[in-house]
Amino acid sequence: MTATEQAGVVGVGYEGRTIDALVADLVRQGVRRLVDVRLTPWSRKRGFSKSALTEALAAAGIAYEHRAELGNPRDNRAGFAGNGDDRSRARAIFADRLRQPGPVKALEALAAAASRERVAVLCFEADQERCHRDVVLAEMRRTLTPPTGQRGRPPRTPRDPLAVDRHHFDQHRTRRGHGLTY
């Protein structure tokens, strides 16, 4: 594979996973950089706080980057776990937040990294549709996709470095209540 074919971005949640399993999956997928989009990069789950995560990733040759400006504020988190209307409201609130100057610069940096190397965007939730990282990835594409012709959709090719591989870890997932585990 060439560097261009390995470039791109994938969303990943660590809910229900060990640090070793997550790192092994990232390595298998050729991820070279992990961008942590948690507002605060600490976790009660062993191995997933910033220092331990950075160390585990570095041992596998994966760079770690924390982007607090892409984090979801505490008062907006419950909406992502709610019903369809709650989730739609939470997504809209968060999308508006991402249009501020700080988050826009962070999205641009994320897209630039994804054009050079395979990047994983990390948060806790296993089910990406119930996580703000889904909005981060969608907003990155919306912001950086050039306007198109009549149909309003840009052409997508298999080597599009900004194509989001949303279900990259599906082979390991199982449904548990409203969430997914890996």
Average pLDDT of span 58-74: 97
Residue 98 in any domain: the answer is yes
Of 131 and 153, which is predicted with more confidence?
Answer: 131
Residue 1 in any domain: the answer is no
Check pLDDT > 60 for residue 134.
yes
Q: What angle do CA 146, 149, 155 make, to 5 degrees?
A: 65
Average pLDDT of span 148-152: 52
State the CATH number of the domain containing residue 130.
3.40.1010
pTM summary value? 0.79
pLDDT at 159: 47
Residue 164 in any domain: the answer is yes
Check pLDDT > 70 for residue 152.
no
Per the structure, how many domains does the chain have? 1
pLDDT at 1: 45
Burial status of residue 9 (CB atoms within 10 A of its CB: 0-12, 13-18, 19 or more):
buried
pLDDT in tens, 67-118: 999 999 999 999 999 999 999 999 999 999 999 999 999 999 999 999 999 9
- Whole-angstrom Cα distance, residue 167 to residue 47? 23
Write out the residue range of the structural domain in which residue 84 sits. 7-146+160-176
Residue 67 in any domain: the answer is yes
Residue 141 in any domain: the answer is yes
pLDDT at 124: 96
Residue 51 in any domain: the answer is yes
**Sign of the CA dihedral running 22, 177, 37, 119:** positive
